Amino acid sequence: MAIFVVSCGWCDYQRRICYPPFSIALCQDFSLWSMKKDPELESALSGNCRWIVNNQIKNIILRCPDQVASIKFIQKKFNKFDLQGKALNWLEEYPCCFEVYLKHGEHYCILTNPMMHLVDEEESVKDMQEPVYAERLARLLMMSINHRLNVVKFNELRQRFGLPDDYIVRIVAKYGDIFQIINHSGRKRSMEIELIYWNHGFAVCSIEALAQK
């Protein structure tokens, strides 16, 4: 009999699970089977991971003054991506996205024209999706305790709900008749989003809406 400790990703507890010997052998068979990787799938996953990093770098550059970032600054952020190597080498691998130039002995980076066109298209799509974002956030707050969400904690889940990086400015601040920011202590970690307008239409699920029709 073997004992394994299983940790749940979002849970703060561990469970001890006992498996008989034949289960261990079965798990080993499955692990060997799972090691067989699909080259095309692995290539797609690798490309997706690289695009995620490039998207983060893009956002860093867009937030910099005049949308120009020094390579030293990107390198500091680059290390937070758990990537090894030099940011300059990474950027030079994607000349269609990033333009690196030397000024006064220091390297700087800007977004290329094709990349800026993509940024403009992305912004236009986000603008059209703002009502959808607002409704989605309102529904989440309606299901939350006291109709509030801690901003720091919610930021860890924001992408899973399809909200943009700048949802605080784009959604919360813009829809001031629906949401408000409260912070009684003045600390960043205690900042919360609160629902101040209850839309009864949002409280109806899709199945109920179809039934009413």
pLDDT tens for each residue of 43-65: 555 556 778 888 889 989 999 99
Does an H or E element contain 174, and which?
A: none
Residue 9: φ, ψ to 5°: -55, -50
pTM: 0.59
pLDDT given for residue 79 in this prediction = 73
Gap between the Cα atoms of 191 and 189, Å rounded: 6
* Domain 46-111, CATH among 1.10.287, 1.20.120, 2.60.120, 1.10.10: 1.10.10
| ∠ Cα 74 79 84 (to 5°) | 110
**Span 126-212: which CATH code?**
1.10.10
Sheet holding 98-103, edge to edge: 69-70, 106-111, 98-103
Adjacent-strand bridge partners of 150: 192
pLDDT tens for each residue of 133-177: 999 999 999 988 899 999 998 988 888 888 888 899 889 999 999
CATH 1.10.10 occupies which residues in the chain?
46-111, 126-212
User: Residue 208 in contact with residue 201, Cβ under 8 Å?
Assistant: no
Gap between the Cα atoms of 26 and 184, Å rounded: 54
Q: One-letter amino acid identity for 197? A: Y
